[in-house]
Amino acid sequence: MRFTKDHEWVEMEGDVAIVGITAYAAEQLGDVVFVETPEVGKTFKAGDGFAVVESVKAASDVYAPVSGEVLEANTALGDAPETVNAAPEAAGWFAKLKLANPAELEALMDRHAYEAYLDTL
Amino acid sequence: MSEKPLLTTPLHSAHLALRARMVPFAGYEMPVQYTEGVLKEHLWTRQHAGLFDVSHMGQAKLRGADPLAAFEAVTPGDFRGLKPGRQKYSLLLNGDGGVVDDLMAGRPDNDGLFVVVNGACKENDFQVMAKALAGQVTIERLENRALLALQGPEAAKVFTHYAPETAKMVFMDIRVMTVWGIDLIVSRSGYTGEDGFEISIPADMADDVWNILLSNHEVMPIGLGARDSLRLEAGLPLYGHDLDETVSPVEAGLTFAVNRNRREQANFPGAARVARELAQGPARSTVGLKVLEGAPAREGAEIADAAGAVIGVVTSGGFSPVLKQGIALGFVPPAHAAIGTPLKVIVRGKAQAAEVTATPFVPHRYVRKA
């Protein structure tokens, strides 16, 4: 699993990138009450807003950790947004992407580096 | 943004000890949530009792030869008719009938008028009052008092244990009393739609009262995040969002705060505008909206008619933890304000179905009979 400074994660499953938000991000957001996942077929550049996650209090953008095309969105979050809090780095995934530029992964942090980054916040 | 250092309330260290998430609000560093989070804090208050620190709000005593009569010069309420032991919700109005602030004013004793205004507005409010009422009242700011709100269906059970005399109080009663040897000003009111009390306490005793109330298993500390979602479900306006200096009492749906005798006397600021809007209808009306699909509509979201033409704007909105859907307050032309009118809210470019809904969204549970 790789991580961004904006608290998204990417995990490769074959050549498909599964993306979501980290446990830290879910904890900071509080109880998630609504998730807007991206449409299948849309393409995003790394850093583009590609989903929105809402708590009781506020809406927050989720940024694409890597560039690519949306192959599948986790539509189960529509009826069960609380999954983002319960399992942010597993069942609470947001979308699966076809990577446009696999080299982008190398620029992201591994878990050790991400945890060190969290310690600086 | 000014870089003025944030003020703190007498309960600041108590919030930190409870590991509250602190944010700037109304010039103070205030708890937006505690460890349970906004959603659980909200639901706890609806089911049990929540304790809020609202010491940022402005408390003052107005005294003079006839402070009740004097206060009618800046508000549309019947304060001459306000009986000892009662308080009123009212509006501080500008000369155009725009709302300078909304407030509570009451008679906890026979010593003048006790006024509580919004924290973010208090400096201006008391300047406006001092200027308009110069020579008629003196304004004593009660900056040495904290303010707590205990709200929820179990609030009365908790508080009457310590203060049995509050059992006889009904909604909008206000009394001075001595509890735990501490001089309190207690009103049966709040900002959640639930039964409960607002409790004014000498600042140096605030920690003690906070801890005693929190020692009850029914009581949980609640942050400003849930305070906002609770008041929205209760259909209560928030100054600076649903109310500002351009909004009239009629536009805001607060005509109840313009008492009939004051309407006839037409001697309050903006009386002409209020009379005209009551006769001809206002340019815009505040409505409640249920969002029937998609994301919650938040402040600033456009409101469109069924055909898609933009006709209004959301002034505050969010997710209702009780109804589990988006709810909002906003302005639309009166022709679109009837309950049940189908409308759209535009969220991130998407038009989502919404419907004009009676407020409160969640029924009030005020105790009106002892």
Strands B219-221 and B49-53: parallel
Instruction: List pLDDT tens digits, range B124-166.
Output: 999 999 999 999 999 999 999 999 999 999 999 999 999 999 9
Please provide the average confidence, as pLDDT, over all residues in chain B.
97
pLDDT in tens, B88-129: 999 999 999 999 999 999 999 999 999 999 999 999 999 999
A54 to chain B, minimum CA–CA distance in Å?
8
Q: How far is CA B62 from CA B57, B70, B83, B290, in A?
A: 16, 10, 16, 41
Nearest CA in chain A to B37: A30
Tell which phi-psi region holds residue B86, choosing left (phi > 0), alpha (psi between -120 and 50) or beta. Answer: beta
What type of residue sits at position B107?
A: R
Q: What residues in A contact B40, CB-CB < 8 Å?
A: 31
Q: In B133-223, which residue ranges form alpha helices assigned H by DSSP?
A: 155-162, 206-214
- Structural domain boundaries in chain B: 1-280, 284-357
Is the Cβ pair B296, A59 closer than 8 Å?
A: yes
Among B29, B20, B49, which Cα is nearest to B213's?
A: B49
Let me know how many helices (H) and strands (E) chain A has, helices first.
Answer: 4, 9
Minimal Cα distance from B38: which residue of A? A56
**Got the DSSP string for A25-80?**
HHHHH-SEEEEEPPPTT-EE-TTSEEEEEEESS-EEEEE-SS-EEEEEE-THHHH-
Asked if A94 and A77 touch (Cβ cutoff 8 Å), the reply is: yes
Search chain B and give the residue with CA nearest A53: B295
Average pLDDT over residues B295-319: 97
Helix locations, B74-163, DSSP H? 122-132, 155-162
Pick the residue from chain A with its C-alpha nearest to B320: A56
Give domain B1-280's CATH superfamily.
Answer: Probable tRNA modification gtpase trme; domain 1 (3.30.1360.120)
Which residues does A contribute to its contact with B (CB < 8 Å)?
Answer: 30-31, 33-34, 36, 52, 54-59
Cβ distance B319 to A30 less than 8 Å, yes or no, reads no
Residue B369 has pLDDT above 90, yes or no: no
Is the pLDDT assigned to residue B2 strictly greater than 60? Answer: no
User: pLDDT value at position B4?
Assistant: 78
Percent pLDDT > 70 in chain B is 99
Nearest to B37 among A30, A52, A54 (CB): A30
Q: Which domains does chain A have, with CATH numbers?
A: 2-119 (2.40.50.100)
Contact between chains at B37 and A52 (C-beta distance less than 8 A): no
Cβ atoms A84, A106 nearer than 8 A: no
CB B314, CB B303: distance < 8 Å? yes
Whether the pLDDT of residue B260 is over 70: the answer is yes
CB pairs under 8 A between A and B: 47
Find the radius of gyration of the CA atoms of chain A: 13
pLDDT tens digits, one per residue of B272-296 = 999 999 999 999 999 999 999 999 9
Instruction: Report residues of chain A scoring pLDDT below 50.
Output: none
The tens digit of pLDDT for each residue in B326-352 reads 999 999 999 999 999 999 999 999 999
End-to-end Cα, chain A, rounded Å: 20
Looking at chain A, which residue has its C-alpha nearest residue B299?
A58
Compute the distance between CA of residue B98 and CA of residue B88 in angstroms, rounded to an integer: 19
Bridge-based pairing of strands B302-304 and B310-320 is antiparallel
What's the topology of domain B284-357? Elongation Factor Tu (Ef-tu); domain 3 (2.40.30)
Contacts of B38 in chain A (CB under 8 A): 30-31, 55-57
- Note whether A77 and A92 are within 8 A (CB): yes
- How long is chain A? 121
Question: Which residues have CB under 8 Å from A102's CB, separation 6+?
Answer: none
Q: Decide if B319 and A56 are in contact by the 8 Å CB cutoff.
A: yes
The closest CB to that of A59, out of B33, B228, B295, belongs to B295
Q: Which two tokens stand for residue B340?
A: 């049940």
Contact (Cβ atoms closer than 8 angstroms) between residue B227 and residue B45: no
Please report residues of A whose CB lies closer than 8 A to that of B37: 30-31
* Residue B368 pLDDT greater than 70, yes or no: yes
Per-residue confidence (pLDDT) for residue B113, from 0 to 100? 98
Sign of CA dihedral B229, B230, B234, B235: negative
Residue B39 is nearest to which of A30, A34, A52, comparing CB atoms?
A30
In angstroms, the separation between the Cα of residue A82 and the nearest Cα of chain B is 11
Using the predicted structure, report yes or no on whether residue B32 has a pLDDT greater than 90: yes
Q: ipTM score here?
A: 0.90
DSSP B218-243: TEEE--HHHHHHHHHHTT---BTTTB
Would the CB atoms of A30 and B321 count as touching at under 8 Å? no
Geometric angle at alpha carbon B166, from B165 and B170, rounded to 5°: 130
Query: From the list B225, B294, B348, which residue is nearest A57 (CB)?
Result: B225
Longest dimension (CA), chain A: 37
Output DSSP code: residue B7: B
- Partner residue opposite A33 with nearest CB, options B228, B319, B348: B319
Q: Which chain A positions have a beta carbon within 8 Å of B34's beta carbon?
A: none
